[in-house]
Amino acid sequence: MQINSIEAYELAYQKSVEKPEQFWGEIAQSFHWRKPWFKVLSWNFRDPEIKWFEGAKLNITENCLDRHLAAHADKAAIIWEPNDPEQDSITLTYKMLHERVCRFANVLKRNGAKKGDRICIYMPMVPELAIAVLACARIGAVHSVVFGGFSAKSIADRINDAACKLVVTADGAYRGNKKIELKEVIDDALIGCPTVEKVIVLTHTRTPVSMLKGRDVWWEDEVKHVNDVCEAEEMDAEDLLFILYTSGSTGKPKGVVHTCGGYMVYAGYTFSNVFNYQPGEVYFCTADIGWITGHSYIIYGPLSQGATSVIFEGIPTYPDASRFWQVVDKHQVNILYTAPTAIRSLMSYGDEPLKNAGLESLRVLGSVGEPINEEAWHWFDEKIGKGNCPIVDTWWQTETGGIMISPIANVTKTKPSYATLPLPGIQPCLVDENGQEIIGNGVSGNLCIKFPWPGMLRTTYGDHERCRQTYFSAYPDMYFTGDGCLRDEDGYYRITGRVDDVINVSGHRIGTAEVENAINMHAGVVESAVVGFPHEVKGQGIFAFVIYPEHHADEELTRKDILQTVTRMIGAIAKPDKILFVSGLPKTRSGKIMRRILRKIAEGDMTNLGDTSTLLDPAVVTEIIDRAQKK
Ligand code: WT7
């Protein structure tokens, strides 16, 4: 099923458009199903209702584990590289991983989990995180992984939204030279989570933690009480596999829902093709499993293809900025998949950290999460790939489940900062403000997708109307991505960034409304407006304009207090980079904040503010500019 030439790509693409059911049906044959489907696809984008592989039965863990045992039991499934380079790395073969997943699946059952129950996972990047995820899938429980950087309040919101019954966590996490007390955060979260019955706690940092009788149990004790035989639960192709929360332009984060059959096929197919994975190769994705990239391209995609996937606990700059390259050399990594923000950060250290780096094992490089600027692209190409490794700039989203627009390694001719061409099965289109499709090349518009693909979201948990409203209502019969995009003369796609009120900070999606709500919680704040601005390393930074009338207060201290409030409400990842105190915000007569103007000011471009005549009070703009320039 691997595409090995541009002609093969064109043929596959054409077939996927003309005979989508046949195309995906054939790809799905390469997976293990307990029972086949009676219909490959039924869909409408109005409700929306999307079903792939209807009637089919499977368990994704049989595809990720059991089916590799006959021929590859002793092949490495996971190589774990700890935060501390002095500590030994750990290799889990497919056989070992299978045993541990089955054993932990039995622990989940022993603690009351059943098919359909939601389980929140809040863990460091250790092998047990992958084990917990797969153990949920084994018994048909729905996992909801929450990234380790979110606050107690954010976790509580997510747990309550999905009514989770269990939480799996660890005492603490290491991140560079920092220790993060995960269990303590969970304890704070659970004060407001009545649905949680049990908390399973892994020992990792051995930080002292409180263990509540009747609720909290140790991972290490629990595994002693069960054996490692666990028959996989038979799942319907459209049963829920997981929920993953992501930010949008309004309100609280949404629980994006992915289902078993389609997601598995899409994650596996795209992994194998985009990276051109070859048997025996070592693949290293530097993302955190708390994000969709980790779900699809550390766990499910690679394991479904029998690949060796590296899980790295640490950060690119600890103990120093050569760490990634050391990991690549140590484990002889062939495929490296990382983010532009990491590349830009490492670039800033110059050539010194590359002095002892061999990097000869590398064959394919990948980028994901945000637009990659040309400078970073060339540095990655020349310094890391030595001009010899194709770079796959992969565009996709939490909602798409897998890579959508991307070069195929060694097949598609790459072009810096372009995600290039849609993968087979993906029908992108650009639309103008009036919802008209823009035909032809050398054009730009809002990026939509016209036809379903197996990995797409099915709903947003507990609120189907919100799913319809957010993704399927802007343009009839199309999925709207929220991204702006251009298509050049060659038909190549270049993603230009979000066109909604979502900021992409270091590849993490943050809703401006969420940050504003958090800032507004701070005593004394009257109102705030948050916009993104170009940031050298992070891609975008967060700029907050805050109305705070207490002029006698110490500004610097107030600024820190506000950051503290945001950290409490959302997590440190949402802290504004800049806060400007103002006495008013530019609003239209109907009371809408004109973010366009604020974005310009945040960028430092005061000359080009556009039409300000519709403003209720144009004088506020002068005042804001004045204050911005004094800073
Ligand atoms: C948003 C999705 C799924 C990957 C991790 C982020 C931006 C993602 C690219 C790329 C330009 C990109 C888009 C998208 N984005 N990849 N290669 N080039 N922009 O997932 O948190 O759901 O964010 O990230 O704006 O909409 P996410």
In a domain, 478, yes or no: no
**Is 161 close to ligand 1, i.e. is its CB under 6 Å away?**
no
In a domain, 493, yes or no: no
User: What phi-psi label fits residue 206: left (phi over 0), alpha (psi between -120 and 50 degrees) or beta?
Assistant: left
- Alpha-helical (H) ranges within 305-370 are 323-331, 340-347
CA separation for the pair 414, 381 (Å, rounded): 11
CA separation for the pair 574, 554 (Å, rounded): 23
Shared domain for 82 and 229, answered yes or no, is: yes
Shared domain for 226 and 338, answered yes or no, is: no
Shared domain for 311 and 226, answered yes or no, is: no
| pLDDT on residue 631 | 72
| pLDDT on residue 429 | 98
Instruction: Give the ipTM of the model, two decimals please.
Output: 0.99
* Strand 118-122 to 166-170 pairing: parallel
**Is 482 close to ligand 1, i.e. is its CB under 6 Å away?**
yes
What is the token pair recorded at 67? 């089916």
Shared domain for 202 and 117, answered yes or no, is: yes
Shared domain for 87 and 197, answered yes or no, is: yes
CA separation for the pair 348, 239 (Å, rounded): 46
CA-based torsion, 432, 435, 441, 445: positive or negative: positive
| pLDDT on residue 551 | 65
* Strand 240-246 to 235-236 pairing: unpaired
Shared domain for 315 and 220, answered yes or no, is: no
Q: What's the gap in Å between 340 CA and the centre of ligand 1?
A: 11
Ligand 1 pocket mutation, candidates 285, 338, 395, criterion most atoms within 8 A of CB: 395
For 437-472, write each residue's pLDDT tens digit: 999 999 999 999 999 999 999 999 999 999 999 999
CA separation for the pair 228, 183 (Å, rounded): 26
Shared domain for 528 and 612, answered yes or no, is: yes
CA separation for the pair 202, 186 (Å, rounded): 13
Ligand 1 pocket mutation, candidates 289, 368, 396, 505, criterion most atoms within 8 A of CB: 396
Residue 68 identity (one-letter amino acid): H
For 236-283, write each residue's pLDDT tens digit: 999 999 999 999 888 889 999 999 999 999 999 999 999 999 999 999
Shared domain for 336 and 215, answered yes or no, is: no
Q: What's the gap in Å between 395 CA and the centre of ligand 1?
A: 6
Shared domain for 281 and 220, answered yes or no, is: no
**pTM (whole model) above 0.90:** yes
Please tell me which of 369-378, 553-562, 584-593, 618-627 the model is most confident about, judged by mean pLDDT: 369-378
**Is 509 close to ligand 1, i.e. is its CB under 6 Å away?**
yes
Q: What is the DSSP letter of 414?
A: P
**Is 504 close to ligand 1, i.e. is its CB under 6 Å away?**
yes
For 81-116, write each residue's pLDDT tens digit: 999 999 999 999 999 999 999 999 999 999 999 999
**Is 368 close to ligand 1, i.e. is its CB under 6 Å away?**
yes
Shared domain for 313 and 381, answered yes or no, is: yes
- What is the dihedral angle through the alpha carbons of 522, 528, 531, 537, rounded to the nearest 10 degrees? -30
Burial zone of 257 (CB within 10 Å; 0-12 exposed, 13-18 middle, 19+ buried): buried
Percentage of the residues of the chain whose pLDDT score is greater than 70: 100
In a domain, 495, yes or no: no
Name which residue sits closest to atom 4 of ligand 1, judged by CA.
369
Q: Which residues pair with 311 in a beta bridge?
A: 80
In a domain, 553, yes or no: yes
Ligand 1 pocket mutation, candidates 504, 508, 510, 538, criterion most atoms within 8 A of CB: 504
Ligand 1 pocket mutation, candidates 263, 370, 414, 508, criterion most atoms within 8 A of CB: 370
CA separation for the pair 156, 161 (Å, rounded): 8
pLDDT band at residue 610 using 50, 70 and 90 as cut-offs? confident
Q: What's the gap in Å between 354 CA and the centre of ligand 1?
A: 28
CA-based torsion, 318, 322, 326, 332: positive or negative: positive
Choosing from 334, 364, 393, the residue where a domain stops is 393
SS3 102: helix
For 464-504, write each residue's pLDDT tens digit: 999 999 999 999 999 999 999 999 999 999 999 999 999 99
Choosing from 233, 266, 292, the residue where a domain stops is 233
Name which residue sits closest to atom 3 of ligand 1, judged by CA.
397
Choosing from 393, 416, 445, the residue where a domain stops is 393
Mean pLDDT computed over 129-136: 99
| pLDDT on residue 441 | 98
Mean pLDDT computed over 613-625: 89
In a domain, 38, yes or no: no
In a domain, 617, yes or no: yes
SS3 239: coil
Structural domain range at position 302: 275-393
**Is 288 close to ligand 1, i.e. is its CB under 6 Å away?**
no
For 528-562, write each residue's pLDDT tens digit: 999 999 999 999 999 999 999 876 678 899 999 99
**DSSP string of 541-573, one letter each residue:** EEEEEEE---TTS-HHHHHHHHHHHHHHHTBGG
**Is 393 close to ligand 1, i.e. is its CB under 6 Å away?**
yes
- What is the number of domains present in the chain? 3
Q: What's the gap in Å between 418 CA and the centre of ligand 1?
A: 13
Name which residue sits closest to atom 21 of ligand 1, judged by CA.
509
pLDDT band at residue 609 using 50, 70 and 90 as cut-offs? confident
In a domain, 446, yes or no: no
For 354-364, write each residue's pLDDT tens digit: 999 999 999 99
| pLDDT on residue 321 | 98
Q: What's the gap in Å between 479 CA and the centre of ligand 1?
A: 15
**DSSP string of 361-401, one letter each residue:** T--EEEEESSPPPHHHHHHIIIIITTT-S-EEEEB--GGGS
Shared domain for 104 and 204, answered yes or no, is: yes
In a domain, 239, yes or no: no
What is the token pair recorded at 605? 């471009």
**DSSP string of 601-619, one letter each residue:** HHHT--S-----TTBS-TH
For residue 386, give the CATH number of its domain: 3.40.50.980
For residue 183, give the CATH number of its domain: 3.40.50.12780
For residue 515, give the CATH number of its domain: 3.30.300.30
What atom of ligand 1 comes closest to residue 394's alpha carbon?
A: 17
Average of per-residue pLDDT values in the chain:
97
pLDDT band at residue 613 using 50, 70 and 90 as cut-offs? confident
For 309-340, write each residue's pLDDT tens digit: 999 999 999 999 999 999 999 999 999 999 99
Shared domain for 299 and 225, answered yes or no, is: no
**Is 244 close to ligand 1, i.e. is its CB under 6 Å away?**
no
